[in-house]
Amino acid sequence: MGSQNSKVSAQDKAILDMKVQRDKLHQYQKRIKVLTDRETEIARECLRRNDKSKALLALRRKKYQESLLQKTDEQLASLEILTNDVEFAVVQRDVLYGLQQGTKVLKEIHKEMGGIEGVERLLGESADAQAYQKEISEMLSGRMTNQDEDEVEDELEALAKEVNGVDIELPDAPTQDLERKETAKERRERRTREREAEQPHQQRAEPMLA
């Protein structure tokens, strides 16, 4: 408790004060409830002793205390509303602070990007540069003969092979259609051929069984 680091703000203290007040009202209500209960008990006791006037007095006191109770209820409600309002205001303030921070950061980032004109200028510049590049390559390729071009491409190929390390001659992809149906047919044919080849054996075997 002694260390007063500023994690607790003035608002916190104000809220605490209000909540403490609320607690006190709570305790007050408890006390009054005990009192009213006792007054009822006293009234009952007095009636038992046939002391009507005293019983009446006790009941009057009870009535008065109950009116106090009602009043404190109202006070309690208004105190609670106020506390809630303050707490909500604190939340709102925090939200606002968050928004401020976010906006600030966003603005800074925008500033780094140099504003809309900056972005436009940059985009324009990059388009220009791209166009220029295209022009250069067109000029270069335009000036070369077909033979030169072929040589350049050959060299590129050679270089690519070198870069890829081993000189792998990849097989060409098959140019014919895959003969799936034909293989099925072939299989059938093969089977019949095999069966024909086997038949003599079976024919020889069957009679022996029969």
Partner 1 sequence: MPDPLPPAYTNETFPFPPHYSFPPFFTLQPNPLTRTSQLQSWSSLILSYTRHHRLSTLSVVESYNTPLFHNPSLNRRLPTSDIREILTYMSSKDGGERVEWIGKHGKDGGAGGKCWVYWRRPEEWADVLESWVERTGQKGVVLTLYEIGEGDATVGAEFHGLDPELLQKSLGVLVKKGRAQIFGAGEDQLGVKFF
Q: Which residues bind partner 1 (CB under 8 A)?
A: 1, 5, 7-8, 12-13, 15-16, 19-20, 22-23, 26-27, 87
CB of 73 to partner 1, least distance (A): 13
C-beta closer to partner 1: residue 8 or 136: 8
Q: Shortest Cβ distance from residue 77 to partner 1 (Å)?
A: 13
Nearer to partner 1, 9 or 192 (CB): 9
What span, in angstroms and rounded, lies between the C-alpha atoms of 131 and 125? 10
Of 66, 91, 64, 73, nearest to 22 by C-alpha is: 73
- Tell the smallest beta-carbon distance from residue 28 to partner 1 (Å): 12
The Cα–Cα gap between 98 and 92 comes to 10
Q: Which residues neighbour 75 within 8 Å (Cβ) at sequence distance 6 or greater?
A: 25
66 or 87: whose CB is closer to partner 1? 87
Nearer residue to partner 1 within complex by CB, 8 or 96: 8
Is 89 or 122 the residue whose CB approaches partner 1 more closely? 89
Q: How far is the CB of 112 from partner 1 (least distance, A)?
A: 34
C-alpha to C-alpha distance for 17 and 79, rounded to whole angstroms: 11
Minimum CB–partner distance for residue 43 and partner 1 (Å): 25
Q: How many whole angstroms separate alpha carbon 90 and alpha carbon 15?
A: 10
Give one word for 176, left, alpha or beta, with left for phi > 0 and alpha for psi -120 to 50. beta
CB of 5 to partner 1, least distance (A): 8
Pure H helices in the chain: 10-48, 52-113, 115-143, 146-163, 180-209
Closer CB to partner 1, residue 1 or residue 197? 1
How far is residue 74 from each of residues 20, 36, 78, 175, 202, measured CA to CA in Å? 17, 19, 6, 94, 111
